[in-house]
Chains A and B, each alone.
Chain A
Amino acid sequence: MATRAAPRPTRLRRLERPALAGVLVREVINYASYWKSSAFSSTVEPVIYLLAFGFGFGSLVSEIGGRPYVEFVGTGTVATAVLFSSAFPSMFGTFVKYSFQHTYDAILAAPVDTEELVTAEQVWMATRAAVYGCIPLVVAIGFGLDASWGMLLVPFIAWIAGFGWSGFGISVAGFANSFENFSYVVSAVLTPLFLVAGTFFPIDTLPTWARYLANVNPLHHTVELVRHAAFGFEGWEDLARLGALVLFAIITWRVAIHAMTRKLVD
């Protein structure tokens, strides 16, 4: 095979667009082969939560904060959909790709660095989460939630949260030695955060320590931002929540890069 006149890069940059695009193209082409199962699991589960809590629990609690309970849950489960479509696939997918499929070895043999690989994977997961996260909102609109202009910001909120949770998932996979390690994270970290996010009940009803815990819970900030996008923003408070989400995304991104560099480059 004749040598192609490959473009000769003249300088090095840390995050190069062609490298990010290459990894993203791989994800998009792969996604075409499994999108049905992925979309099913990432959307049906939060919708079941919405329906079960909205109508099951809703028969006991008619409204919260002056709004029908189904609307309260409908906006809250956006964060659940984001979590389910970013943290979990990042955790398991990353582990499979480096441990069993050796996909990352192949990618890193091309002109792609670990930082670019992790960043592109997070961008992809965040984009999926932004789409999947809107589905419970659409379902809630079908059940009577009034649409509002603020809801147009929900995909952006979901994207930032998805980027952060994807970084969290990749970090966990990067530090894990086996699939079994994930059980500790799911049981000890994700489940408590999921329950004290204010998705199914307001955190005001929780003990003081749990309320403090909720304030360092990115899922809680996502829930609140989505609710406020639907029902009306609350100024500086929401900016602070957005800042917390951005900080969460940046921290998990850097930790994920560190964890995967440690795992992939020896």
Chain B
Amino acid sequence: MGGSAPDHGNGAPAPDLAIRIRGAVKRYGPITAVAGLDLDVPSGTCVGLLGPNGAGKSTTMRLLTAQSIADEGEIEVLGYRLPGESKLARAQSGVVPQLDNLDTTLTVEQNLRVFAYLYRIGRGERRDAIEAALVMAKLTDRRDARVDKLSGGMRRRLLIARALVHGPRLILLDEPTVGLDPQVRQELWALIDALRLQGSTILMSTHYIEEAQRLADTVMIMSHGKAVAAGSPADLVLEHAGRDAVEVYGPPARLAEVEAEAAGAGLRTRRTGTSISVLNPGSADGIPVQGERRPANLEDVFVLLTGEEID
């Protein structure tokens, strides 16, 4: 995973890896969207690609369906080498896009039927596949509703059902809950968690830290097109942010003082807008940090590794 991805040697696909990327580079003119990315997604796991906007997550997702072609590097999906064998990989993958691209004048069932054909489900299995997808997405009673009459949450569930109608071996979720309200987001988390528990292989890009923390077995943090850290959420927190943090509130001048004091004591800090978080203060005895003590979290790691400023 990330920069320390295991080398499987001689270019042969590792049988237990659903996705294997080595040194992928994707440039758009002067902009390098993906800059030498290594990524492994073991079969049966949920890997979260976490990064700020513009980190290269969506480009990475497009590379995996050969809708973007890498300028350099090797990409294998389900053992198929991309882009040459991409169609074979896509036949066994399901993609939930960031942008809603449902056919809005069709019904829920018609949308699923179209993709049952596109994913080449045999005539005898088509009806059952559509029914299973409707049940999974809890849309059975809305099967005849036109998509433009559905709520945002239902449309997202339909997008997931559409990606799963053919029972894919690999599921690619590109920002699956972006722009949704908290209730709908939790509903989708439950759905994705159920898939995870069933043993599906999932690669999910997100910039919602809580989403990655809740759903991913392994998180890879991306910044500027590269993997900057990878591991389980708990390990990443412990390694990069320590066990706990102290949150100090106050006027900007006070926050600047705390920042300077912590830096002087060799402690790492991060700004949270209204406060300063001093990370792992327990490691520096005698530092007079007064504030609310809390467990360190993945957001601390995320900001530490991807920067406090918006590019």
Contact = CB atoms under 8 A, between A and B. Distances in A.
A240 interface: no
Interface in B72-119: 84-85, 87-88, 90-93, 95, 97, 99, 101-106, 110, 113-115, 117-119
Most buried by B among A1, A23, A33: A1
Given A1-B132, A8-B92, A266-B68, A106 B117 contact: no
Given A12-B87, A25-B113, A112-B87, 10 more contacts: A6-B119, A6-B166, A22-B117, A29-B113, A34-B105, A102-B97, A103-B101, A105-B97, A106-B162, A111-B118
A7 interface: yes
B167 A4 contact: yes
Given A1-B195, A9-B91, A111-B87, A22 B120 contact: yes
B133 interface: yes
Interface of B: 28, 62, 65-69, 84-85, 87-88, 90-93, 95, 97, 99, 101-106, 110, 113-115, 117-122, 125, 129, 132-133, 136, 162, 164, 166-169, 195, 198, 200
A108 B65 contact: yes
Contacts of A1: 132-133, 136, 164, 167, 195, 198, 200
B105 A33 contact: yes
A26 B122 contact: no
A19 B120 CA distance: 8
B87 A113 contact: yes
Contacts of A34: 105
B273 to A, nearest CB: 34
The range of chain A's interface size is 35 or more
Q: Is the interface of B mostly helix, strand, loop or mixed?
A: loop
Interface in A60-91: none
Interface string A99-138: 0011101111111110000000000000000000000000
B103 A109 contact: no
Interface string A245-266: 0000000000000000000111
Contact of B90 (A2, A4, A101, A111): A111
A22 B118 contact: yes
Interface string A1-45: 111111111001000001101110110011001100000000000
A4 B120 contact: no
Contacts of A109: 65, 67, 90, 93, 95, 97
Interface of A: 1-9, 12, 18-19, 21-23, 25-26, 29-30, 33-34, 101-103, 105-113, 264-266
Contacts, number: 122
A6 B92 CA distance: 7
Contacts of B93: 109
Contacts of B65: 108-109
A224 to B, nearest CB: 39
21 contacts: A1-B132, A1-B164, A3-B168, A3-B200, A4-B121, A4-B125, A5-B167, A21-B117, A26-B114, A29-B106, A101-B101, A101-B103, A102-B99, A103-B103, A106-B101, A109-B67, A109-B90, A111-B90, A265-B66, A266-B28, A266-B67
Contact of B115 (A2, A3, A110, A264): A110
Contacts of B87: 9, 12, 111-113
B167 A107 contact: no
A105 B67 contact: yes
A110 B103 CA distance: 15
Nearest to B90: A111
B270 to A, nearest CB: 35
A44 to B, nearest CB: 22
A22 B118 CA distance: 4
